[in-house]
């Protein structure tokens, strides 16, 4: 009897001693494979830009950044922090950019305290982390002559370089994009409409950051779709299906196509982020 009792005890304790029993349903799987899987799922693509990139507040406009996430596999999350109407300076220092200019012709920024959106992205716990990507697209509102949106060439390059450095310091890969073009026709051809192209490329070279020329890619797409010539009626026809009732902002269908152009550029330029695309 005693021998049988001891045998039963040994059989009961054996899995606990050997650690051979399967994890119960309410126990987390802490195996190396599970940790590697969790790590692979943590890649984030952070977006900073204006209305042509931002999430929609109504049916139109729709920024292309809001259509970007579905193009990636499940291991990527797109965090869209683009905000309508912002230049690079008002995006960074909103409410601290004054309506007056200094002696150099730049809008006065006082105090030089970042807006919470950028502070959140810099946060060591919840913000950008090593292995993430930061895609930056400004240059549309920056060309305004008036403050607070006005940004001069030198200031634009300074702020773009600063954002890139902040990303790199955290192990994040920055990617610059030239501003997406509005639709403007010269005869039967769509032509470029934006500035800050040279500034974006110059900063890319100086900061060793890859540049996607979304400006050129976008008006090339308009030509492929034969959106020119048009009669200026943005409520009908192919141009109306692509753009809101203006020459700048996108319907959802147009935004999806611009997002697709950016994804194709990731592949064509062999940017490592392209490995996460579907």
Residue ranges and CATH numbers for the domains of the chain are 44-276 (3.40.50.1110)
pLDDT at 117 over 80: yes
H/E element, 264: helix 252-268
pLDDT band at 39 (very low <50, low <70, confident <90, very high): very low
In 3-state terms the chain splits into helix, strand, coil percentages (rounded to 5) of: 40, 15, 45
pLDDT at 131 over 90: yes
Q: Which has the minimum average pLDDT: 19-23, 40-44, 121-125, 154-158? A: 19-23
pLDDT at 67 over 50: yes
Which whole number is the average pLDDT over 79-107? 98
**Residue 41, pLDDT score:** 55
Tokens, residue 165: 């450095």
Q: Which has the minimum average pLDDT: 12-21, 76-85, 202-211? A: 12-21
Which whole number is the average pLDDT over 60-69? 98
Which whole number is the average pLDDT over 55-82? 97
Q: Which DSSP letter does residue 72 get?
A: B
Three-class secondary structure of residue 192 per DSSP? coil
Adjacent-strand bridge partners of 133: 45, 173
Average pLDDT, the chain: 89
pLDDT at 228 over 60: yes
Side-chain half-sphere exposure of 164, counting CA atoms within 13 A: 22
pLDDT at 30 over 60: no
Which whole number is the average pLDDT over 249-276? 98
Which whole number is the average pLDDT over 84-109? 98
State the residue for tokens 């049916």: 59
pLDDT at 90 over 90: yes
Q: Which has the minimum average pLDDT: 1-15, 35-49, 145-159? A: 1-15
pLDDT band at 139 (very low <50, low <70, confident <90, very high): very high
pLDDT at 100 over 50: yes
| Total-model pTM | 0.86
Tokens, residue 35: 């940790």
pLDDT at 45 over 90: yes
């Amino acid at each position: 009897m005693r021998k049988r009792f001891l045998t039963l005890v040994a059989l009961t304790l054996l899995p606990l001693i050997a650690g051979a029993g399967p994890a119960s349903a309410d126990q987390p799987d802490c195996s190396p494979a599970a940790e590697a899987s969790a790590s692979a799922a943590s890649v984030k693509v952070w977006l900073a830009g204006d209305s042509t990139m931002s999430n929609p507040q109504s049916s139109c406009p729709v920024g292309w950044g809001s259509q970007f996430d579905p193009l990636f596999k499940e291991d990527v999350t797109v965090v869209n922090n683009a905000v309508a109407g912002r230049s690079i300076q008002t995006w960074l220092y909103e409410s601290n950019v004054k309506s007056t200019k200094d002696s150099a012709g730049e809008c006065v920024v006082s105090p030089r305290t970042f807006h919470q959106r950028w502070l959140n992205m810099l946060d060591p716990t919840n913000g950008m982390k090593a292995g993430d990507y930061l895609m930056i697209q400004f240059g549309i509102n920056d060309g305004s002559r008036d403050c607070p949106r006005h940004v001069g060439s030198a200031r634009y390059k300074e702020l773009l370089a600063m954002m890139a450095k902040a990303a790199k310091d955290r192990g994040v890969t920055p990617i610059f994009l030239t501003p997406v073009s509005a639709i403007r026709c010269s005869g039967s051809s769509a032509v470029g409409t934006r500035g800050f192209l040279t500034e974006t490329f110059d900063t890319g070279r100086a900061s060793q950051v890859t540049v996607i020329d979304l400006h050129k890619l976008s008006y090339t797409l308009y030509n492929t779709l034969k959106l020119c010539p048009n009669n200026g009626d943005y409520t009908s026809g192919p141009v109306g299906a692509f753009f809101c009732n203006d020459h700048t902002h996108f319907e959802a269908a147009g935004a999806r196509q611009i997002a697709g152009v950016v994804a194709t550029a990731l592949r064509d330029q062999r940017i490592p982020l392209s490995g996460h695309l579907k």
